[in-house]
Each structure stands twice: as C-alpha cells, then as structure tokens.
Amino acid sequence: MSGGPPDLERLSSAIELTPRVLERAANPSAAVDAFATELPAKPVLTIESASGWPSLDLRDMWAHRDLFYFLVWRDVKVRYKQTALGVAWAVLQPLLTMVIFTVIFGRLAGVPSDGEPYPIFVYAGLLPWNFFNQAVTTSSNSLLGNAALITKVYFPRMVIPGAAVGAGLVDFAIAAAIMFLMAFYYGVAFGPGILMLVPLTLLTTLFAAGVGMWMSALNVKYRDVRYALPFVLQIWMYVTPIIYPVTFIPARWRWLIALNPLCGIIQGFRSAIFGRPFDWNGIAISAAVTLILLIYAAFEFRRMEREFADII
C-alpha cells in the first residue's frame, strides 16, 4: 500500500465553497451535483496496491509513530486488565521458572554453571529468552487480533507486530530490575561491561521483531502457524544455552549452536553481568543473522501485506 500527502489547500478551498454551493442548489440532489463540480480534479489522497518489488516505506512508518505508541500502551494495559496480580506476573514468571530450573538442573542433574551461582546464571539466560518468547508469540497473533482495524483503516500494517514487541519491553524492564537485586544478593560485582546490556537488548528486540513480523504475516495466510509456533519455541529453548553453558556442549558441535542468534545474545548477557570477556565472534554472528532475517521478514511482510484485508 502507498499513498501521497493530502493537498490541504484544495481540500480547504472545497470546504469553504460548500456553503455557497448549497445556497445555489434548489434541492439536495442538485446540491450534491453542484458540490461535485467544485471538487478538485486531482484526488486529495490516493491509496493503491504497489506493483513489483515491495518498498519498506520507512517514511510512512515514521509518520504513524503516534499510532505505534498508542498500540504499545494499549497492549500493556490489556495484558494485565482484570488480573488479580497485575504486573506481578512479569516478576513471578521468570522467578518461578528460575526456581524450577535450579532445583531440577542445578541441584538434581548437576548441570554446571561456569563457576557462577546457578540461580542467577539461569536467570541471566531466561531474561532475554522470556522476552523473545513472549514478543514472538504475541506479535505472531497480533494481525489476527486486530482484523477489524486492518479492514477498515489504512496505516502501515507493520506497526501492529512492532507494537506487540515493544509492549514486551515493559515486562523485560521489570524482570531486569529483579536480576539486579539477585546480583546484589549473590555478591556479583558489576563492571564496565554491564553497559553492553543496552545494545544486547536492542539486538534481542530486533531479532524478536524480525521473527514476529514474519510469523504474523504467515499466520494470516496459514492459520496452523499459531499451533506450530509454541512447539517450535519450546524446542528452540532447549537448543539455546539457557539452562547450561556453551562449554557443556561438545566442541565439535559448538559451531552449529553458534548459528542460533540467541546463543551469542545470551552469552553476551552473562558476560555483561558476571564481568567476563565477551565472545565478540558469537555476538557478530548473532547481529549478522538478525540483520539478514529482519530485512527478509520486512520485505516478505510487505509482499504479503497486499492480501491481508482480503483473507484475514
């Protein structure tokens, strides 16, 4: 979809002429015909389907940034509306998961944690993973949940899955505050590397946006995506070093797990928290895969966007 800016001068002149046109007309039908002759010959706004290779139209996205903020705030409010615990769920979910993983894998199974306290070790992995999992799940269903809006109003459809990812950052910020409290409890001293949490969070957000955008477009056309995606995410969690360190994997297979962008991201989170050297190769691989996936997902979304209003 593409559209030009409205011609405000022609539109205002047509509005100013309306009273005079109505005065000259003897009946309503004549008034309509007379007003039609006063309208500008060129349409004020044209919305048409683009042909050929789709354009990202980032300028249109920026023009609708207020809609993005509104949808983010709406998603945050709807998520905790009429809940007994409210935003406490953003704290309980990672904490309870951390306790279960600590008991089963840290105590019973004896999974190593690179010499760090296992609770905060696994929490540092759950922090970006929970955000990614929630963002992808909500954004993949966001287009179907806003079907009425899509079929009635024009705006860049990419705003909807993007807002779903942005809303997940609120829960991420709350869970991150708990991580800092845990680090203080376990005596973890932060160094300058803690500042890397900002670009790593941005990288996680972009990766979640790419996957969520792609899945949301596919979910409109293939409704079984909503059933397959939770299973894929569950498998994805166990092939990501959340409950175990990368050193737990045999050396000959580490190159394969490094292709998982979340592997480099989670390792970066742990390095930032525990003050260890960063695996810059792993972070670079994660950034490269994220960039490629984000570009592909954006163009694929724009290509499939032409049919959303017809099949949603």
Q: Does residue 157 share a domain with residue 40?
A: no
Looking at the structure, do residues 35 and 184 belong to the same domain, yes or no?
A: no
At 139-190, the pLDDT tens digits run 999 888 888 888 887 778 889 999 999 999 989 999 999 999 998 888 888 8
Q: Are residues 280 and 253 in the same domain?
A: yes
Its domain, for residue 61, covers 57-311
Mean pLDDT of all residues in 51-78 = 78
Q: Is the same domain home to 249 and 227?
A: yes
Give residue 243's pLDDT: 92
pLDDT of 274 strictly over 60? yes
- The reply to whether 188 and 77 lie within a common domain is yes
One domain for residues 192 and 298: yes
Q: Are residues 174 and 211 in the same domain?
A: yes
Of 76-90, 124-138, 167-181, minimum mean pLDDT range:
76-90
Q: How far is CA 41 from the centre of its chain?
A: 42
Against a cut of 0.95, is the pTM above it?
no
User: Which of 48, 65, 84 finishes a domain?
Assistant: 48
Tokens of 173: 């910020």
> Residue 130 — very low, low, confident or very high, per pLDDT cuts 50/70/90?
very high
Is 50 exceeded by the pLDDT of residue 99? yes
Do 143 and 105 share a structural domain?
yes
**Alpha-carbon Rg of the chain, whole angstroms?**
25
pLDDT band at 32 (very low <50, low <70, confident <90, very high): very low
Q: Which two tokens stand for residue 237?
A: 């969690």
More confident residue, 10 or 105: 105
Same domain assignment for residues 28 and 61: no
CB 241 within 8 A of CB 259: no
The rounded mean pLDDT for the chain is: 82
**Region of poorest pLDDT, from 9-23, 168-182, 279-293:** 9-23
Q: Are residues 246 and 120 in the same domain?
A: yes
Query: Where residue 88 falls among pLDDT bands split at 50, 70, 90?
Result: confident
pLDDT above 70 coverage of the chain, percent: 80
If you average pLDDT over residues 105-133, what whole number do you get? 92
Could you give the number of structural domains in the chain?
2
Read off the pLDDT band of 303 (50, 70, 90).
confident
Q: If phi over 0 gives left and psi between -120 and 50 gives alpha, with beta otherwise, what is residue 164? A: alpha
Instruction: Give the best-scoring range by mean pLDDT among 74-78, 196-200, 300-304.
Output: 196-200
61 shares its domain with 191:
yes
Residues 69 and 133 both lie in one domain: yes
Examine the pLDDT at 222 and tell me if it is beyond 90. no
Residue 266 · residue 129 · CB < 8 Å = yes
The region of weakest confidence among 26-35, 61-70, 173-182, 238-247 is: 26-35
The answer on pLDDT for 256 being more than 80 is yes
Does the pLDDT of residue 20 top 60, yes or no? Answer: no
Q: How far apart are alpha carbons 19 and 21 in whole angstroms?
A: 5
